[in-house]
Amino acid sequence: MKYKSIGRTGIKVSELCFGAMFFGGDADEETSKALYERCLDAGINFFDTADMYSHGRSEEILGKLMKGQREDLVITSKVFFPTSKTPRINDRGLSRKHILTSIDASLKRLDTDYIDFYILHYFDPSTDIELTLRTLDDLQKQGKILYSGVSNWAAWQIMDALGISERELLGRFEIMEPLYNLAKRQSEVELLPLAESKNIGVIPYSPLGAGLLTGKYGTAKQPDSGRLVDSELNRLRYQDDLELADRFTAFSQKLSVSPATLAVAWAKSHPAVTAPIIGARNLAQLDASLAATDFEVTPELRAEISSLSLAPEPATGRSEEKTLGQFSMLQK
């Protein structure tokens, strides 16, 4: 296992992060323990969870598992969504009230004094960004979090927050958690360049596309159950990508490598990426993703794999620049 620094923080993490989303849900406590221990054996020291996962059970299980090992691990959790099955009116969003209530609940469930990276799980248009940033800055000063981060925000929203943090001398976002896989490459347009420019760590989620890129799906095949079958959100997200799944599976077969291994290795190979988040409901799924640490994706191979899907348009909309290069008219 290789280790990287998260942005400018100096904190070293494994090149894969394990996502504990299934803890307490599809993975019971016994299975969660087996997954956690396999990750430790592989050299993973980086674990991602959220207060909403399994209505808080994910944090509780992770807290039990890491007892006695806390200082060897780097932990993220998130805030935005309700955790209870019958949420109260203010049990959501990024208000000071919700964040202060949520951080104490997360610390109790995780049985820890602090969270390394506390991540805003979604953008809240009803709360002023500066108020949210001041609350996070207070949590840093109190020692309840080391750093803050963001997930599912647009690049302009992150830049707005970075500008406020600099102007007001507040702690800034040091990590981002975007959706990123071969089927969903929008992050390449602005988020990943932003991360490189501002030295922000990147831990992309869903490198397997909710199972799309595991070889189980295609235009003529689909398992009876799975995240892509059972979740309406995932069905809508990937409904137009089954042909890509066929192409990707065929390509991985030519390389004699598991599609899941190749998908994680491809996501990991982007220069802006610190550590893709891998998830699993059983050890077989986990092992396929862990194998990405031993599979090298050269720039040439990355280009071949990338050609299987459509690259997103440039932020400017000037699609001709992908072929002719920037400022092509000025160069003639």
Active site residues: 53
DSSP code, position 177: E
Which residues are CB-neighbours of 210 under 8 A, at least 6 positions away? 227, 228, 231, 234, 237, 238
Residue 141 is encoded by which pair of tokens?
A: 């000063």
β-pairing, 3-5 vs 145-151, is: unpaired
Bridge pairing between strands 115-120 and 3-5: unpaired
CA distances from 223 to 166, 184, 215, 216 (A): 49, 22, 10, 7
For residue 317, give every residue at least 6 positions away whose Cβ sits within 8 Å of its Cβ, in sequence order, or none: none
**DSSP secondary structure letters along 60-78:** HHHHHHTTTTGGG-EEEEE
